[in-house]
Chains A and B, each alone.
Chain A
Amino acid sequence: MVDHLRKQYGNLVAVSDVSFSISRGEIFGIIGPNGAGKTTAVECISGLRTPDSGSISVDGFSPQKERDRIRQFVGVQLQESQLPPRLRVGEAVRLFASFYPNPQDTDKLLESLGLEKMKNSSFKKLSGGQKQRLSIALALVGNPKVAILDELTTGLDPEARRDTWELIEGMRDRGVTVILVTHYMDEAERLCDRLALIDHGLVRALDTPEAIAAMAGGNRVRFIPSKPVDDRTLYAIEGVDQVERKERYVTVYGTGDLAASVINSLAKIGVSASEIEARTGNLDDAFVKLTRDDGSGDPGATPG
Chain B
Amino acid sequence: MTSSPVRPEETKRRGRFSELLKVQGKLALREPNGVLGIGIPFALLVVFALIGSYEPGNTGNTSYTVLDLYIPIVMVIGFLFIGLGLPSTLVRDREIGWLRRVSTTPVHPSRLLAAQLVINLIFALITVVVVIFGGDVIFGAALDVNVLFFVLSIVLSIGVIFSLGLVLVAVAPSQAAANALGGVTVFGLMFLSGLWTPPELVGGPLATIIYYSPSGAAVSALLDSAFNQVPPYTTLVTLVVYTVVFAFIAIRYFRWE
Contact = CB atoms under 8 A, between A and B. Distances in A.
B254 interface: no
Size range of the interface on A?
Answer: 20 to 34
Query: Is the contact region of chain B dominated by helix, strand, or loop, or is it mixed?
Result: helix
A78 B98 CA distance: 10
B98 A71 contact: no
Contact of B101 (A78, A86, A98): A78
Contacts of B252: none
Size range of the interface on B?
Answer: 20 to 34
A161 interface: no
Interface stretch (B45-53, B89-97, B195-203, B212-220): B89-97
B107 interface: yes
Interface string B13-39: 001100110010011001100000000
A219 B45 CA distance: 82
Given A82-B98, A86-B27, A98-B16, A71 B105 contact: yes
Residue among A72, A84, A87 having the largest count of chain B Cβ atoms under 10 Å: A84
Residue among A47, A68, A80, A99 having the largest count of chain B Cβ atoms under 10 Å: A99
Given A82-B96, A84-B93, A71 B23 contact: no
B101 A91 contact: no
B106 interface: yes
A91 B26 contact: yes
A99 B16 contact: yes
Contacts of A71: 104-106
B80 to A, nearest CB: 23
Given A87-B27, A95-B19, A101-B12, 14 more contacts: A46-B104, A68-B106, A71-B105, A75-B104, A76-B101, A81-B101, A82-B96, A84-B89, A86-B27, A94-B19, A96-B105, A98-B16, A99-B16, A100-B105
Interface of A: 46-48, 68, 71-72, 74-76, 78, 80-84, 86-87, 91, 94-96, 98-101, 138, 142
